Each structure stands twice: as C-alpha cells, then as structure tokens.
Structure 1
Amino acid sequence: MSIVKARQNGFTLIELIIVIVVLGILAVTAAPQFINFSSDARESALRGLQASMKSAVELGYAKAAIENKLSGEATITAADGTSIALANGYPKASAVQAAAGASSDFVFAEQTAGVYTGGSPSNGTYVGTFASLIDGTVSAAVIAATNCYITYTDNADDTGKPTPTVTVSGC
C-alpha cells in the first residue's frame, strides 16, 4: 500500500487575509504622505517665488545705484527689456511680478495703493497666489482668503529694504 502525498498549490485563505490586512495597514499609513504632496509643492513654489522677489529687490537696487536712481520714483530696464518701476531704488509693488519673473501660474492684486509723490508717501502692497486657487474675480481679499499667498510691500516711505513674506497655512 502506498500513500501518495497531495501537492498543495496556491495560498490558504488565512494567508490571503493576512496579506490583505498588511497591505491595508501600509496603505493607511502611506496615503497621507501622498495626499500632502500638492500642498508641499505649493508651499515650495511660493518660497521659490519669495526667493526670486528677494533677488529682484537686490538686483533692482544695484541697477538703480549704478544709474543713480535711489531716491523717489524712477524706472530701470531689465535685461529682457522689461521696464521696472522703482520707489527709492527698490521695485514698486505693482512691478514686482515682472521684476521677479513670476510666471502666469501666479496672480497678483493690489492690497494697498502706494502714494509716491506729494504729501506723505505710503507703501504699496501687492499679494499673489496660484491662479489655480482662484476661481472668478481676482482681488486682494480673495487671494488672502486662500491662506496660501505671498505679500510684497514696497519702499515708498524709504523705511528700508522690502521683504516679501509668505503665508502658507492654507496651502
């Protein structure tokens, strides 16, 4: 009498359930990392734009110093032929998008109008965000409501170098 052993092919039901449970646990822990990539990308892009604006401020001031245009209103011409409006040697808020070379992926709106001549000069402020976050009318209030924007205040009252700031709590 001979006993023939049957060969087992495939997996048992319990093995399949264990694999599915392990994959489910991995998916639950990994999914938030993948979902968060878009907000990280928006934050990084805003910080990159901030760095571009800071460079534009420095380069604009250097060119204004060379051309002796450090007080009052003036204009300089960028290497690509773009005319950049200045206030006390630094790019005006209304010109910072062009000065920084911001792409059409960003939209900017005036938050505060600058007063550059006569009486008491005051700074202009522009805010900008991603065009994809805005649907409809572009305004400073709409941009600020995204909580994912950049702010640039110019130097009309000669209080020092403008510093772009970012708000990323809503990115």
Structure 2
Amino acid sequence: MKSQKGFTLIELIVVLTILAILAVFAIPRFITVTADARVAAINGLKGSVLSATSLAKAKYKAVGNTSATTVDMDGTSVTVTSGTGANAGVPVGTSAGITSALQSTDGFTATYAAGVATFNFTTAVTNCNLTYTDPAGTVATTTTGC
C-alpha cells in the first residue's frame, strides 16, 4: 500500500489557528503605525506652513513696499497682508495666500472661511487636520482622531 503524503485536517486547523492568533496581535500594531504616520504628516505640513509663512514675510520685508498685497515666491504670486506691523507680509488664509506659498499640499485638501485655511487629509479622517489663521499666521493642529 502506498503511503499518502500531505497535511491532515487537524494540521491545517492548527496552522490556521496560529495564523489567526498572530493576526490578532499584528492588526492593532498596524493601526497604531497608521495613526503615527498621520500625526507625522500633519506635523510635517505644520513645518511647511511655518516655513512658507516665514519666507513670505521675509520676502515682503526685503522688498520694502508696505502697500503691496502680493509677493513673488519662485514665480508664484502669494497674497499677503500689507502694512508695517508684526503681521505684515503674512500669507492670507486663502488658496492665493498660504496654499500658493506652499510648494505642495499633496495628500491634503484645503477649505477656506474668513481668513482661516483648514487642511484635511484627502481620505476621510475626522479630527486630524491643520488650521492656519491670518493675519497672525498662527497654526493649530488637531490629532485626536488620527
């Protein structure tokens, strides 16, 4: 009689059980890594917004025209606040302002309302965004839902 080669049903069930147990421990780690990646992306955008604001402000002051409402940043016109105060040259919270000052907003969509630009992930993620407010150019992040 020939001996048959292969796995028994019991062996297959044991292997599937072990894989299921491993998956139970691996999935929460994956979810945590995803949340950490979203927080890192928000913080990266925050750094970009702060840098773009500083660069626009420096360019505005270097030109010295206190009545100007735009500055040229690498061929892109950026709408800024005019004047001589501390907020002079800060990009406004519109698509022609802070969004134009940023080199890239890949992965984010922006909405604008009364001097406030809110950047959300292109995928639906609640309570995980960045808010830019003019004329001071303040940046606030919300990461509780990441």
- Post-superposition offset of 1:49: 1.6
Partner in structure 1 of residue 99 of structure 2: 97
Maintained 8 Å contact 2:60/2:89: yes
Superposed displacement of residue 7, structure 1: 5.5
Instruction: Decide which of 92, 108, 111 is 1:108's aligned counterpart.
Output: 111
Pair 1:64 & 2:60 matched? yes
Q: Aligned residues, how many?
A: 138
**Alignment-derived partner of residue 155 in structure 1:** 135
Deviations 1:86-111 (A, max 9, x none): 3512222221111123436412221x
The answer to whether the aligner puts 1:128 opposite 2:113 as a matched pair is no
Cα 1:130/1:78, change in 2 over 3 Å = same
Do the aligned residues in 1 keep the contact of 2:80 with 2:89 (CA within 8 Å)? no
How much identity, in percent, do the aligned residues show?
Answer: 36
Moved more, 79-88 or 47-56: 79-88
Say yes or no: does 1:80 pair with 2:71. no
Aligned Cα root-mean-square deviation (Å): 3.0
Contact 2:76–2:100 at 8 Å: present in 1 too? no
CA distance in 1, matches of 2:24, 2:98: 43
Distance 1:80 1:42 in 2: 31
Larger Rg belongs to: 1
Query: Aligned partners of 1:125 and 1:100: how far apart in 2?
Result: 15
Q: Which moves more between the two structures, 27-36 or 7-16?
A: 7-16
Alignment check: 8 A CA contact 1:125 1:154 kept: yes
Aligned 8 A contact 2:70 2:77 in 1: no
Change (3 A) 1:90 1:97: same
